[in-house]
Amino acid sequence: MRIVIAPDSFKGSVSALCVAEAMARGVLKVFPGAEVRKVPIADGGEGTVEALVSATGGQLKTAQVSGPLGETRTAQWGVLGDARTAVIEMAAASGLPLVPAGQRDPRLTCTYGTGELIRAALDAGLRHIIVGIGGSATNDGGSGMARALGARFLAEDGSQLPPGGSALARLSRIDITDLDPRLLEAEIMVACDVDNPLCGPRGASAVFGPQKGATAEMVQELDSALKHFADCALAASGRDVATLAGAGAAGGLGAGLMFFTPAILKPGVAIVLDAVGFADLVKDAAFVITGEGRTDFQTAYGKAPVGVARVARQFGVPVFCISGGLGDGADDVLAQGIDAIMSICTRPLSLEECMQEAESLIEEAATRLCRILKVRIEL
């Protein structure tokens, strides 16, 4: 009997790989002879590299890059088990947790380090690149990323602009003459789970700027700068992408990738599941266990557990979701291919206690679930 375990991370507590291992321990207590396939997954944010490298038997790599404020830091990226596909998290180089709370200012933060990670993949001879763009600290439209790959962002006097989103208001011209020619050979898939355009009331600055430290005045400044940037980028690249779904993701990095590289934006979980060959793994399974830190109404819009369920449903394989907590609208997932949901909490616990005990609680929940399923299987 094959049992597939395909959880997302429990954010801030347990990585997707550790969640999968805890679930597997619980399953094997009840079904010791089962073939358990662990497939940690992610949706493009933190943990995407680890999940894909682990699931495909790939390799982790490191690179020295510029952080969001220009500081030098070591960032991790990966090569999948096919030895031809790179996987990058922009959060590893340009992520919000990399900026101390008191220094968060999306007028200044920059995606240059993300471009350096793409360049590292190209230097390694890889032309298939997956880029996860969740968790950014930036609002520069991906201009820093493009700068790292050879683009020049020029003021009216011909000088290069400083990094950051606010400087784009003084942009006169974008020179892409020296943009890395290897990009023409590349296939870049961008894991993106938001559909916001670049500018306006649903744009990068208005929706995501405040969580990165932007005041109401900064939001207006940044939105105006991105509108101007979009006009200049269209003139330079000939690509009109600012209003496309996902252009506003990661402070406009979605737009920058589409302006300056041959990137295609897709739902993050779909990219991850395709990359690990999930359909082949699940088609003969007895059942699937997935999970996430919190299941609520947002999950039904296509977060990782629902992505797993949609694939499993094609083969009539039941899917069960074990979550750290259940919020409003959690039952909405039952209409999306998930057959049942279960919380790991069986007694009153504070959030801190739940996070500290998460791995043992996940293991116990998987055991409880399997004991119930064993009764049904044996009938």
pLDDT at 217: 96
pLDDT at 55: 84
Which of 118, 71, 68 has its CA nearest to residue 93?
68
pLDDT at 378: 64
Helix pair 358-378, 16-30: axis angle to 10 deg: 40
pLDDT at 194: 84
Summary mean pLDDT of the chain: 94
Whole-structure pTM value: 0.86
Distance CA 274, CA 349 (A): 37
Query: Residues in the chain, how many?
Result: 379
- Tens of pLDDT, residue by residue over 320-352, are 999 998 999 999 999 999 999 999 988 887 878
Which amino acid is located at 253 in the chain?
A: L
Distance CA 301, CA 137 (A): 24
Question: Which two structure tokens, joined as six digits, stand for 374?
Answer: 């064993």
Helices and strands, counts by H and E, the chain = 13, 13
DSSP 3-state assignment of 294? strand
Q: Which domains does the chain have, with CATH numbers?
A: 2-41+277-378 (3.40.50.10350), 48-269 (3.90.1510.10)
Distance CA 88, CA 75 (A): 9
Question: Which two structure tokens, joined as six digits, stand for 313?
Answer: 């449903």
Q: Which residue is listed with tokens 């830091």? A: 73
DSSP 3-state assignment of 372? helix
Residues 212, 95 contacting (CB under 8 angstroms):
no
Question: Which two structure tokens, joined as six digits, stand for 85?
Answer: 């596909």
Q: How far is CA 99 from CA 77, 167, 213, 216, 276, in A?
A: 19, 19, 10, 20, 32
Positive or negative CA dihedral for 358, 359, 360, 366? positive
User: Which ranges of the chain have pLDDT less than 50?
Assistant: none
Residue 144 CB neighbour total at 10 angstroms: 31
